[in-house]
Structure 1
Amino acid sequence: MSEQTTSPLDRIAGAPISWGVCEVPGWGHQLPADRVLGEMRDLGLTATEFGPDGFLPDAPAAKAAFLRERGLRAVGGFLPVLLHDASHDPMPEVDAFVDGCLAADAGVVVLAATTGTDGYDVRPELDDVQWKTLLDNLDRIAERASERGVLAVVHPHMGTMVEGADDVQRVLDGSSIGLCVDTGHLVAAGADPVAITLAHTDRVRHVHLKDVDAARAARVVAGEVSFSDAVAGGMWTRLGEGSVDVTAMIDALEDAGYDGWYVLEQDLMLLDGEPGGEGPVADVRRCLAFVLDRLEARRTGAGADA
């Protein structure tokens, strides 16, 4: 953590999931990259995470060129990978992803510890041996990424093997990898992202700002509704309109000297094909304004006690 850059927009990135673009099969209508990236640029964003396979060109050089031609740089991206199965080596997948990062001058590999099945609706329990395999793989990946000049972080995510506060603590205690704090996924799983951040500022290396309707999320945790159905029902909200104290989160990070990315995410599922009106960009605009307003209030001192 070091001094902040001068423009808040230099640290805020978009994410294709906010436009409904997702790696889960059957997720919903997938908007084309030209529209998504063009709308990011129209908002004033200059950076994005990659999005799922197939959203951008596969070849690393082509991916980098595609983004450059549209005036965006890459932050890195989300990599779901199987980590707890001793018979599966995740390193080839990681190395291929890092190739894309290096070609696009992107610096962050955001790991999700997948269950081994598609989607986020079913989550098995791991035994101690499987947990050791997972933790060892996290350290292996973090070391390999560092050797190649990028940062690997683990992303707590509903329906993965690192989900709530107990899982996060197990990662913190059993490995040295940094965290991607996703505010929405942690609150959805009953954890407090602000408390985790305050207790482990040295481990927080990347941030996804997301808000959530905690009552809807509690139904997922209780097994009353599937993750995908909850997303379709509006579980993820615009920043400042859900159960996450996004202002406190930004303040905790800024007070700690965090100088990494704030990635705007409002996970969306487009079930009815091409959206009418403005579409998803309207919500992203509101989320961006929320973050910019808070950072500006801190800069001017107007929101110091808010």
Structure 2
Amino acid sequence: MIRPGVSSMFFHEHPIDEIFSSVEEAGLSGIEFWVETPHFWLRGLPLADIDAAVREHPALSPISVHAPVLDLNPCSINPRVAMASVQYAVEAVDLAEAVGAAVLTVHPGRRTARRSPSAYDYERFEGYLSRLGEAAGGKGVRVAIENMEPRVNSLLCSPGAVREVLDEHSWLWFTLDVAHAMNASPQGVIRYIETCGDRCANVHLSAAMDGRMHLPVDGDRRIATIIRSLADAGYDGPLTLEIDDQAFSRPLSLEEKIGILRRQRVFIEDCLR
């Protein structure tokens, strides 16, 4: 059964226990915990805090985890940046396993220059996947790579490119980012579902319009079609709302964020009826 959830980064300024409580109060059944959630990241990654939150909110289990990506690039031309980026992703595999997460989402990286990826960039990318595959071996967490926006220096920004990587790496799964795919065209999302749906382990759900991304989904007919297409394709994993709280005209209170998530949940449930 599809499990509507939300990224912890929607509650960017809140502590871990408050984030989990708010997600449950909104009636959602899952959470994708970003390792870079400030209350966790800036306090030395206290794993016990996530463990406690997971135990106190069993209705949200199994959670998902998003590996660190801010300021990082595993395909960077700078070898130290690339090394640090790969190491953070590898450590996130262990973290996800430790908290009982079902899925860990990772980003593919990008060419540092704003030019089409070169053979050198793909060589770095393959080295990155090799390290991730070694780290994931024997663990219960699914490592899922995310499609990126269709930019000139993106490595994975088309259904065909993602499918090729999935076919080459049988251990690897896929996180479909709807807003990234919609930035090309709404129909592009459907092509991702048709091409890569059999390996989809997570979906980042948000709308994109006029160059703006990670918008709320309620009332969006394009999103309704996508949700129904996922269900028709047999998808039964996390449906992770990835909404940017900075996309609103003013700062939101905690109560307002919970109310927004309730509306998204009702919309998703209506689409699945």
Q: TM-score range by the shorter chain?
A: 0.7 to 0.9
Task: Report the equivalent of 2:23.
Answer: 40
Given that residues 13 and 263 in structure 1 are in contact (C-alpha distance below 8 angstroms), is that contact kept between their aligned partners in structure 2? yes
Counterpart-to-counterpart distance in 2, 1:82 and 1:277: 32
CA drift at 1:12? 1.9
| Residue in structure 2 matched with residue 227 of structure 1 by the alignment | none
SS of alignment partner, residue 39 of structure 2 = coil
State which of 49, 52, 64 in structure 2 corresponds to 1:65.
Answer: 52
Please, which of 217, 220, 241 is the counterpart of residue 239 of structure 1?
A: 217
Point out the structure with the larger helix share. 2
Is residue 141 of structure 1 aligned with residue 132 of structure 2? Answer: yes
**1:51 maps to 2:39:** no
Three-state SS of the structure 2 residue aligned to 1:185 is: helix
- 2:154 pairs with 1:161: yes
Matched, 1:197 2:193: yes
Deviation at 1:55, TM superposition (A): 3.1
Q: From the superposition, tell whether residues 172 and 65 of structure 1 become closer, same or farther in structure 2 (CA, over 3 Å).
A: same
TM-score for both structures, normalised by structure 2: 0.78
State how far apart, in whole Å, the 1-side matches of 2:147 and 2:236 are: 20
Preserved contact between residue 103 and residue 201 of structure 2 (Cα < 8 Å): no
Q: Is the 8 A contact 1:115 1:123 kept in 2?
A: no
**In the TM superposition, what is the alpha-carbon distance from 1:249 to its structure 2 partner?**
1.8
Give the deviation of 1:171 after TM superposition: 3.5
Q: 1:151 aligns with which of 123, 131, 142?
A: 142
Structure 1 gap segments, 5+ residues each: 22-29, 218-229, 298-306
Out of 74, 77, 102, the residue aligned to residue 65 of structure 2 is 77
* Identical pairs, percent: 20
Structure 2, gaps ≥5 residues long: none
Question: Which residue of 2 is the match for residue 26 of structure 1?
Answer: none
CA distance in 2, matches of 1:101, 1:128: 31
Show the counterpart of 2:6. 14
Q: Deviations over 1:122-153 (max 9, x none)?
A: 95542122123214423542453243221111
What amino acid sits opposite 1:43 in the alignment? A
Q: Say how many residue pairs are matched.
A: 254
**What whole-Å deviation, never above 9, does each CA across 1:199-238 have from its counterpart, x for those lacking one?**
222232211111121x2x1xxxxxxxxxxxx5xxxx4332
Question: Any runs of at least 4 consecutive aligned residues in structure 1 with deviations exceeding 6 A, and if so which?
Answer: 270-273
Mapping for residues 260-279 of structure 1, pairs under 5 Å? 260-269=237-246, 275-276=252-253, 278-279=255-256
Q: Return the alpha-carbon distance in structure 2 between the equivalents of residues 277 and 140 of structure 1.
A: 39
TM-score, scaled to structure 1: 0.70
Instruction: Name the SS for the 1:82 alignment partner.
Output: coil
Rounded to whole Å, the distance in 2 between the matches of 1:153 and 1:204 is 8
Quickly say closer, same or farther: Cα 1:188–1:268, change in 2 above 3 A.
farther
